[in-house]
């Protein structure tokens, strides 16, 4: 076994990356991030499909506080993000499309929202395709088992789980005998809503029909709809001429009826059918569509207002957007808060 890591971070979403960056800036070395997927970003994700890129996770970011504002300013200066729209819309239950009253810039990355994570992750030691599957104490260290092409064991002085709380519960429940009861109870108290997100491609004439019917409308929240939660014109974020793409997100109740990936085909037909009823009749006739099931999309009751931590047998932290809210900014601030508490 190699030299123990100073800090092992599980999860390369915004929370894990922000935390690692901050620790690195404070002079910490010996930090590695273990990420089960092949890329950075987690729910801040982008997929290439049908000659374009599509954001089926985070659609846009809009800073509320000073620290995230400063990050957004850096990302604007680096040409990673730009303002997409100042105005979002809501489709009411009785079919009225209303402009929302909160007018401020919503920022997007024209080359895909995961560019934000990629930009921040430069210079970090991120090990992709590495899923943490177990953790046990080993003296005053933690021993993590990581499954990849070959399972490996990693020793670390401190471990940070920057993943949705229910996924941390799965990993930490076997340690119930040694963890403080309150720590595990708090972690178990954080539940998540699921969501199904579909990317759907259309023709230029269908997009023109949308623009004629709904001029300047790029982001619509469907209020009180049993199936559709949100619809956005994803291709309007791109600079390069891109095929028209809409992204549709389901409600949490609808996603709960389709918990298995095998159900996604049926679920996406129902969502497109619903978009035909609520918006324009051709929504069901897309050129192509790709659904994705987010099992852990949005925290249900993010009111902890803090990360969860223990310091014995060795320091261990659990954090993510769910510590503070349900947005990228919350994940970013959770990452900074854990880093601050380590740096002291
Ligand atoms: C459909 C959708 C739309 C959204 N829209 C917006 C929006 O418009 N604006 C906004 O601000 N926010 C939005 N959000 C929320 C935003 O995406 C999240 O708040 C934020 O990205 C959470 O970051 P995180 O780092 O806390 O968690 P995550 O992004 O979930 O990162 C966790 C990472 O850990 C990895 N991981 C999990 N378990 C393991 C393991 N055992 N071993 C190794 N790696 C593991 C995952 O692969 C993932 O990369 C949206 C979310 C969804 C799902």
pLDDT digits (tens, 9 = 90+) for 221-264: 999 999 999 999 999 999 987 899 999 999 999 999 999 999 99
CB 285 within 8 A of CB 253: no
- What percentage of the chain reaches a pLDDT higher than 70? 99
Residue 138 lies in a domain: yes
Q: Is 255 in the same domain as 278?
A: yes
The CATH number assigned to the domain holding 186 equals 3.50.50.60
* Residue 49 belongs to a domain: no
Please tell me what DSSP assigns to residue 81: -
Ligand 1 centre to CA of 59 (Å) is 12
Do 39 and 107 belong together in one domain? no
In this prediction, residue 84 carries a pLDDT of 97
Q: Same domain, yes or no, for 339 and 212?
A: no
Tell which residue, 86, 116, 112, has the closest CA to residue 99: 86
Note whether residue 52 is domain-resident.
no
Query: 175 falls in which pLDDT band (50, 70, 90)?
Result: very high
With respect to residue 50, please indicate whether it lies within any of the assigned structural domains.
no
Domain boundary among 299, 315, 333: 299
The answer to whether position 206 is within a domain reads: yes
Q: Do 201 and 286 sit in the same domain of this protein?
A: yes
Q: Which residues form ligand 1's pocket by a CB distance below 6 Å?
A: 10-16, 34-37, 42-44, 57-61, 131-132, 162-164, 167, 195, 197, 249, 294, 297, 320-321, 326-331
Residues 32 and 172 in one domain: yes
- What number does the ligand 1 atom closest to the CA of 297 have? 53
Residues 135 and 241 in one domain: no
Reported as a single tens digit per residue, the pLDDT across 127-143 is: 999 999 999 999 999 99
Last residue of a domain, one of 299, 316, 333: 299
Q: Name the residue range of residue 185's domain.
A: 5-44+119-190+303-343
Which pLDDT score, from 0 to 100, does residue 301 have?
77
> Residue 239's pLDDT is what?
92
Q: What is the pLDDT of residue 303?
A: 67
* Residue 16: C-alpha distances to residues 155, 206, 251, 320 (Å): 18, 40, 27, 8
Question: pLDDT per residue over 300-344, tens digit each?
Answer: 976 677 899 999 999 999 999 999 999 999 999 999 999 999 998
Q: What pLDDT band is residue 1 in, cutting at 50, 70 and 90? A: low
When divided into structural domains, the chain yields a total of: 2
Supply the mean pLDDT for the chain.
Answer: 96
Shared domain for 201 and 284, answered yes or no, is: yes
């Amino acid at each position: 076994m190699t030299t123990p890591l100073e800090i092992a971070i599980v999860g390369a979403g915004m929370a894990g990356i922000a935390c690692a960056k901050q620790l690195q800036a404070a002079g910490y070395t010996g930090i590695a991030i273990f990420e089960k997927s092949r890329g950075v970003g987690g729910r801040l994700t982008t997929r290439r499909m049908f000659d374009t890129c599509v954001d089926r996770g985070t659609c846009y970011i809009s800073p509320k506080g000073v620290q995230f504002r400063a990050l957004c300013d850096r990302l604007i200066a680096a040409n990673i993000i730009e303002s997409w729209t100042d105005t979002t819309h809501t489709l009411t239950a009785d079919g009225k499309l209303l402009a929302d009253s909160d007018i401020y810039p919503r920022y997007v990355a024209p080359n895909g929202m995961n560019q934000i994570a990629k930009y921040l992750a430069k210079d970090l030691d991120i090990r992709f395709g590495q899923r943490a599957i177990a953790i046990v104490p080993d003296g005053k260290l933690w021993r993590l088992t990581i499954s990849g092409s070959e399972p490996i064991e990693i020793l670390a002085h401190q471990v940070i789980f920057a993943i949705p709380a229910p996924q941390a519960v799965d990993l930490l429940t076997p340690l119930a005998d040694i963890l403080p009861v309150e720590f595990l109870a708090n972690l178990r108290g954080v539940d998540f809503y699921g969501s199904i997100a579909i990317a759907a491609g259309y023709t230029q004439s269908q997009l023109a029909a949308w623009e004629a019917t709904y001029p300047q409308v790029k982001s619509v929240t469907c209020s009180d709809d049993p199936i559709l939660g949100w619809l956005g014109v994803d291709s309007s974020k791109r600079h390069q001429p891109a095929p028209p793409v809409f992204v549709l997100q389901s409600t949490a109740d609808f996603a709960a009826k389709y918990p298995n990936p095998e159900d996604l085909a049926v679920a996406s037909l129902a969502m497109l059918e619903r978009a035909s009823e609520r918006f324009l009749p051709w929504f069901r006739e897309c050129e192509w569509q790709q659904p994705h099931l987010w099992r852990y999309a949005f925290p249900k009751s993010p009111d902890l207002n803090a990360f969860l931590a223990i310091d014995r047998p060795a320091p261990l932290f659990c954090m993510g957007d769910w510590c503070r809210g349900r947005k990228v900014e919350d994940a970013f601030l959770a990452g900074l808060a854990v880093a601050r508490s380590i740096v002291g």
